[in-house]
Chain A
């Protein structure tokens, strides 16, 4: 495929836009792993569930997804918080396979409940700005994508500031670094676990809201995003949310260029190859610190 400047810029933008969504989903997943130390295999299903919340708020109340964002964010935060309280708490500190069964089971339950409740039909949210295209000379970008990119950046920055500047944020980071020390410092570690899980899940609410402005929803939505998300969090260094943020943008861009220049079939193959190379050469991930025991 030939590559002139406008096409290059177009691909770069689309890659960054797509990457921003990966970043958001991955930041949530890595935040949960970094603090609670559990791999949440149901993450993609929370993403899908958020999407349905956005859809129903839009379909029933006619509310624009972006206006519904605070509602969906809060709802998913509560769901995440309670999930940790009721289910995840029971498997913390247990062998990995038990934790895996718990989150995989949760994934199946969420997915099948959605199928039973709302059927497997795809859903699409129609917004007034869905068809807007912004043209800068030969470079044209779909407005919903640009908007979701900007909002993703804003959210990532907010999350970063929250974790850096607030007491709760410091407590989350502290618990992630050393639970025991955090405990000794008077941090209620159990509460921080629930909080982190809730926060991690509500990242999917933001991603789903932004996605819903241009992507069709279905009960199987999670599957389209989860493979790449796991690559992103490992490349970013497990538990490192800033690493995940940057790795998401990089992988999104690589994916788009691969699909255009080589073949759409290699869309996921090239990121996987990079992933294997990184694991071989820098197993702690691109932005990970040295592995701790």
Chain B
């Protein structure tokens, strides 16, 4: 499986791009006033960059090579400098808010640029195919070509559509997807919204996207879109409950709703909550796949049943926005799983040497990889199976899980032993209890897997002809 990049431009699109005037020619042909204005803007940007670089490097940090890890400290320094300007508190709020927001946006934007390529290539590897490999080296420019194609397409509005409600959803669905990144801690003291209700904020903001999806499905005036939207609404309402129950357990153990403190608890105790709370991890991950329409649970846009679900009628970049939000949400759930269950930015002391935000990004990408893995491995659930699974399986077991962990937490609060003994014993107990509970409840609900020996395959002589049958019988 090698990637041979052919000499000729592969697509008509690429040929068009090559045939265009180069950027340099276009710049030479520009009028003088535009050149002057452009160079002033460019110089201004360079100056701002130099200023930020000066504040970061200038003696406030001790100039070692690893200092770029401490972005939070650099921001703090910038804030203090701005306060000394003495124009009022609004200046530092605006500047730091702008820089933080741009940081998050550029991280997600960079991921969106490369994410779809990663997903398609990995899916292809799982299915023994090549995947996109024609545009650019290793097909790396494929997402850009896709985006250009989507932007060139005509944006259709179907007859009988509710025009305003049809216009809004691609925009609205982006807002919660961006806002929800706010409370995620990237390093000690480095989160955009350091609020005490961070966990509740994440849960509530992500639950808002269901309305945008419903609006998209309803306003399209299309049966498939409406079916997809109603499936999404029903599914999201059902799976909110297991998600909340699994996060309540995290709050019970760590005793805080602040995401930064949850990560700090895991760093202090040198343990990942995934070990202590295996069932919560499973519940959260599985329910999240339902919330963000990933494959084991993507009945909202099941291609084989209802064309493309709620965004059937969207074309061009509007459909592209829905796809982008889906991609970004997958990474976001990866980041949430990392924060709640996999120790966040901590890595058993290694965060002294590796920048913590790199660790968090790596863990989030691992979560994204698991999503792709699931997508290429598992078939899709039916909608009744999904709803039954949430209401009869996940919710009762989650309630039992909350009870068990509540008892354990009160034991931990009263027992005067080393923390490692307490939490070690809890981990063992919880893993055993989880295995027993899952197996028993599955059998009670009638879901136990049957291990009957399948019938041995028989050779049908008519398929391969008599020759083939003889060859197989002979064992060759």
Q: Do A and B come from one complex?
A: no
